[in-house]
A = this chain, B = another copy of it.
Amino acid sequence: MSAAWIEGVAWNADGLVPAVAQDASTGEVLMLAWMNREALALTVESGDATYWSRSRKALWKKGETSGHTLRVVEIRIDCDADAVLLRVESVAGIACHTGRRRCFFNKLEGEGGERRWVATDAVLADPGSFRDG
């Protein structure tokens, strides 16, 4: 866990880094979640995106119960090493726990005082059937 490449990440005060997952085929940005050292190491070793749940304070392999895993094609880090980019294959085509293709399904629409977030993407799977996204 103390490999130089892991320590090359600029972990924040809580030992975490934000990780963006992007569909390697379509380019669509699917989700943003957080990793600690162990999650990043497990992601690299297993090839499946694994995060740290800040609410549950536990490791969280994406899609562990739903089967909606993200297979990692490439891992990148930014210029100041405080953000990670995963290029992934979204195995089931559903990366959001709401049953949508991606988590970024809300778009800001309208002008001035009428601005609001509007869901633009369809629900493709029953979200009641899984809890981990």
Q: Which residues of chain A have a CB within 8 Å of any CB of chain B?
A: 3-5, 8, 18, 20, 22, 26-29, 31-32, 44, 74-81, 83, 85, 96-98, 100, 103-108, 113, 115-117
Contact = CB atoms under 8 A, between A and B. Distances in A.
20 contacts: A3-B113, A3-B115, A5-B108, A22-B27, A22-B29, A27-B27, A29-B29, A29-B85, A32-B83, A75-B107, A75-B108, A76-B106, A77-B104, A79-B96, A79-B97, A79-B98, A79-B103, A79-B105, A80-B103, A85-B104
**Identical chains in the assembly:** 2
B18 A77 contact: no
Nearest to A100: B79
B108 A77 contact: yes
| Leading 6 A-B pairs by shortest Cβ distance | A27-B27, A32-B83, A78-B103, A75-B108, A76-B104, A85-B104
